[in-house]
Amino acid sequence: MLPEVWQQLATFKDTFEVEVSAPANIALIKYWGKKGHQLPANPSLSLTLKDCLTRTKFIFSPASSLEVRLFLDQVEKPNFAYKIKTYLESLQAEFSVFKSLDLTIHTHNTFPHSSGIASSASSQAALGEALVRFFCHQTQTHFSESHASHLARLASGSACRSIYKGFVSWGESASLKEGSDLYATPVTELVHPSLHGLRDAVCIVSSGEKEVSSRAGHSQMKDHPFLSARILQAQHNYRELLEALKAGDWHRVGEITEVEALTLHAMMMTSNPGYILLAPKSLDVIRLVRSFRASSGVPLYFTIDAGPNMHLLYRDEDHQKVETFIKHELSIFLEKVLWDRMDL
């Protein structure tokens, strides 16, 4: 699906620099488990954030072999560089230019990395976009978001969704004929306009690195005793969520979103070996959010990625009540709050 002229590029002469910003995304329908090579076991659907970003400068230089150096906040991170080098090595059979590349990366996150706020999605989306812009520069071809999404997916599955703004789907589904396992698809145009202004209070319970990586978690799904049931549930929830989004039914969207979040962590806890990424304070936040929703009637809902930190989703019209609740009732459980919203 990628241009043949990119595959024919074997060498290049001049150093190419590009700066890319890519956002995190938060999945409402969770992607957890793979099939084939970096393909999702079930379709997922997310919203892209505006201010939780990875800002990165990439410097592509010709070299005799592949070398990668990465600096996070000006500190060299050999482990991160090794992961990207391994990824580029996996592409060398298709793109021989990666056999003679020196890649230097300077990157910064506006949010804690490796703590379950999709830093891998934003960072690898930035990488996918940078690679496409490199190829376009060298071959005089046009930039394509689907190409960037494709390459981002090969680096980190959920990264393919961070290429696009708004609501984004990834994975084949009978409910979305444009859907693909190979790249993500923007679906904001299908969503009722009343839901285009959703806000997200990212509640940091713990900014430390999580104990089990998402990559390791996905691998444990292969032999999970509830895998088949989970895939069926995700497919059903995907259909239900898409219809609720089209109808502008925020209450139904929220209900499905919370079920998906708790199912994700249930699958982790019932893996072999099982593990727990939620913290005690995560459960305190869930309890108080549910209590606030019941007592106030304000439709505030939570979701969680693979970590302890909470995303509290709410409509723009409810922001004063929600933000007052978070500041007064939840702050004791939180290190900080990142006030964000979906990007359109």
Task: Say what the pLDDT of residue 119 is.
Answer: 72
Task: Say what the pLDDT of residue 211 is.
Answer: 75
Mean pLDDT of 298-306: 96
Residue 115 pLDDT exceeds 70: no
Task: Say what the pLDDT of residue 217 is.
Answer: 80
Cis omega (within 30 of 0) for bond into 40: no
The tally of CA atoms less than 13 A away on the side-chain side of residue 26 is 30
Instruction: Answer for the pair 123, 104: CB distance below 8 angstroms, yes or no.
Output: no
Mean pLDDT of 21-36: 94
- List Cβ neighbours of 245 (8 Å cut-off, separation of 6 or more): 167, 187, 190, 191, 192, 195, 253
Count of residues in the chain:
344
Task: Say what the pLDDT of residue 116 is.
Answer: 56
What is the per-residue pLDDT across 125-139, written as a single tens digit (0 to 9) for each?
999 999 999 999 999
Q: Which domains does the chain carry?
A: 4-184 (3.30.230.10), 191-341 (3.30.70.890)
Report the first-to-last Cα separation within the chain, whole angstroms.
27
Task: Say what the pLDDT of residue 101 is.
Answer: 98
What average pLDDT does the chain have? 95
- List Cβ neighbours of 280 (8 Å cut-off, separation of 6 or more): none
Mean pLDDT of 77-92: 97
What is the per-residue pLDDT across 150-163, written as a single tens digit (0 to 9) for each?
999 999 999 999 99
Q: Grade residue 117 by pLDDT with cuts at 50, 70 and 90.
A: low
What is the per-residue pLDDT across 187-242, written as a single tens digit (0 to 9) for each?
999 999 999 999 999 999 988 777 777 778 888 888 899 999 999 999 999 999 99
What is the per-residue pLDDT across 261-281, written as a single tens digit (0 to 9) for each?
999 999 999 999 999 999 999
> 341: which 2 tokens?
């919203």
Task: Say what the pLDDT of residue 216 is.
Answer: 80
Residue 114 pLDDT exceeds 80: no
Alpha-carbon Rg of the chain, whole angstroms? 20
Pairing of the two strands 67-72 and 101-109? parallel
Mean pLDDT of 294-314: 96
